[in-house]
Amino acid sequence: MRRRVGVASVVHSRNAEQLFTKKSTIIDQNSIAKLETNLEELKQKLKWFASKHQVDLQTDAAFRNEFLNMCKSIGVDPLASSKGYWTQYLGVGTYYYTLAVQIVETILSGVDRHGGIMLLKDLWIRLERHRPNFLQDSHISFEDIFQSLKLMKSLGKGCGYIRTSSQKSQIDQGLVYCVPEELKQDQTLLLTNVGQSGKCCFKLTDVADSLGWGGLRTKTAVDQLIRDGIVWVEKRGGSEGEYVRYWLPGLFLNNSYEDDE
Amino acid sequence: MESIESGSQSKNWIEQFYNFPPLFTLQPNPSSRKRQFEVWTKLLQTHCSKSNQFIITRTEALFTNNEISRDLSEEFITELFSYLIDNDHGVPSKGGGSPKPKSKEEKHLSGQGVDSLIFWFIPRERWYERLYEYAKTNGLQKGGIATAFEILEDQAFTGMDERVLTILLNGMMSTRKCEVMLANDGITIDGVKFF
């Protein structure tokens, strides 16, 4: 190509620039339109999916779990907002919000007995027993409970799950708590430790030894749990000196049991 | 003792609590302590209503749990009696009239020095209702008179003695549903007039 010089060159390149800009705008618009169509399609498909599977989502724990996994893998969190599209059309969010309320109600109803902490197993039995009528054939899974607990994280650290075993079969032996103030780190560590021991009672030295804590640190953590009503003390004088044990009613009592009153 | 692992699955939770060792130690946390007294009240109510037992002494069988080898200390029983008296679950029967605290700082406990307690295993007001029910059944509700002996004969009041009945009737007078007529000694009840 012959190299243009002077004014002609400037005019030509300006024209070319304008052409390019024009073309790119068209391409942009096209792709946006295409994207919009795609989104609309996705929306429609989801709507269709939702209307087809809403019952399954509400009533089938395994299906619900699969659905959540799928969402996770494509980077969508259907629980992220309460008024979002997902909640509105899929009813997934609603399900977990309802369950979250039930979890809190169940734990608080027995707070006099266990101070706000109970075995996942006991909680699950009670939730299943009080499942609303419209969920007649639907079972609540542990995964559902965890999802609901996750939802409540945004309300603070008052509710949560303490894992006490790495084995999956022992997952129901973990502890679910709902306390007025958050559990501090040391209390969580202590409860985890006691939960792992499989007992519902401990000595200060037991905990201090296995956590590698000093006496004062251990005592402080236990005292806080006593103030919270999560731990009860047993003290007796004896010929071999004072006998002191700390007990967790949340682990000792079968808290799946209902009130008679 | 470490063999006590957890409450039995089949028992209701009040019965499970009875086997919870710290129930026999006064709890330092006020709300847990209140809770444990409530549990003891329920245990006593269940226990006493089964056998129509109105009197609880410091040697009450329920205060010793042989299954887990735990029992209540004298100090605990005093606190428990105080709770029961203060919450109108019972009144001192013997002992009582507790000596005044030596100093103002010393905590005054209504269960101090109380050796036995008249225990309302059903609330006092329910006893008033039962007494009035008795009056109605026997057509006495309009100025009729019954003797203490007659009332205690009725099976609704099995296990009750004259002393307990006297306390109840005296309390019931404030509801203006009855009037007690005392014998010459000023203590024994001659008869009761119902309104």
Query: Average pLDDT in the A209-219 region?
Result: 94
Count Cβ atoms below 10 Å from residue B26 Cβ, excluding itself: 17
Whether A11 is covered by a domain: the verdict is: no
Q: What is the pLDDT of residues A54-101, one digit of tens each?
A: 777 777 778 877 877 777 666 666 655 444 555 555 556 677 888 888
Burial letters A188-224, b for 16+ CB under 10 A, else e: bbbbbbbbbeebbbbebebbbeebebeeeebeebbeb
Closest-CA distance of chain B to residue A257, Å: 7
User: For residue B189, what are the β-bridge partners?
Assistant: B182
Which of B1, B2, B3, B6 should one mutate to test binding to chain A, selecting the residue with the greatest count of A CBs within 10 A?
B6
Residue A238 belongs to domain spanning: 93-252
Give residue-wise pLDDT tens across range B36-45: 999 999 999 9
Residue A175 region by backbone torsions, left for phi larger than 0, else alpha for psi between -120 and 50, else beta = beta
% of chain A beyond a pLDDT of 70: 83
CA-nearest of A114, A47, A197 to B22 is A114
**Amino acid residing at B64:** T
pLDDT for position A180: 85
Across A31-39, average pLDDT: 83
Percent with pLDDT over 90 in chain B: 46
SS3 B53: coil
Contact A234 B7 (CB under 8 A): no
Tell me, yes or no, if A203 comes closer than 8 A to chain B by beta carbon. no
Q: What is the pLDDT of residues A3-23, one digit of tens each?
A: 666 777 777 888 888 888 888
Most confident range, picked from A147-156, A231-240, B29-38: B29-38
ipTM of model: 0.83
pLDDT of res. B37: 96
Specify the pTM: 0.76
Out of A68-72, A168-172, A253-257, the most confident range is: A168-172
Q: Which residues of B touch A235 (CB under 8 A)?
A: 25
The reply to whether A41 falls in a domain is: no
Q: How far apart are CA B124 and CA B172, in angstroms?
A: 9
Can you read off the two tokens belonging to residue A209? 């030894």
| Model pLDDT, residue B83 | 96
Residue A252's closest CA among A85, A56, A117? A117
Looking up residue A164, the CATH number of its domain turns out to be 1.10.10.10
Q: Answer yes or no: is A238 within a domain.
A: yes
> Tell me, what's the pLDDT at B3?
44
Give the lowest-confidence range in A58-72, A104-118, B108-122: A58-72
Q: Residue A16 is which amino acid?
A: A
The number of folded domains in chain A is 1
Architecture of the domain whose range is B13-119: Orthogonal Bundle (1.10)
Contact: B35, A226; criterion CB under 8 Å: no
- Cβ contacts of residue A181 below 8 Å, gap of 6+? A158
Mean pLDDT of B40-57: 94
For residue B65, the distance in angstroms to the closest alpha carbon of chain A comes to 15
Closest CB to A247: pick one of B9, B20, B38.
Answer: B20
The verdict on A229 touching B (C-beta cutoff 8 Å) is yes
Going by pLDDT thresholds of 50, 70 and 90, the confidence category of residue A203 is very high
pLDDT band for position B1 (cuts 50, 70, 90): very low
Q: Is the pLDDT of residue A233 over 90?
A: yes
| A85 or A195: which leads in pLDDT | A195
The average confidence (pLDDT) of chain A is 82
Mean pLDDT value across residues A23-41: 83
Q: Which A residues in the span 67-96 are in contact with B, Cβ-Cβ below 8 Å?
A: none
Categorize the per-residue pLDDT at B188 as very low, low, confident or very high, splitting at 50, 70 and 90: confident
Domain with CATH 1.10.10.570 in chain B: 13-119
Contact residues on chain A for B6, CB-CB shorter than 8 A: 200, 251-254
What pLDDT, in 10s, does the model give residues B77-106?
Answer: 999 999 999 999 999 986 544 555 555 555
At residue B45, the pLDDT reads 95
> Above pLDDT 90, what percent of chain A?
32
> The domain at B124-194 falls in which architecture?
Orthogonal Bundle (1.10)
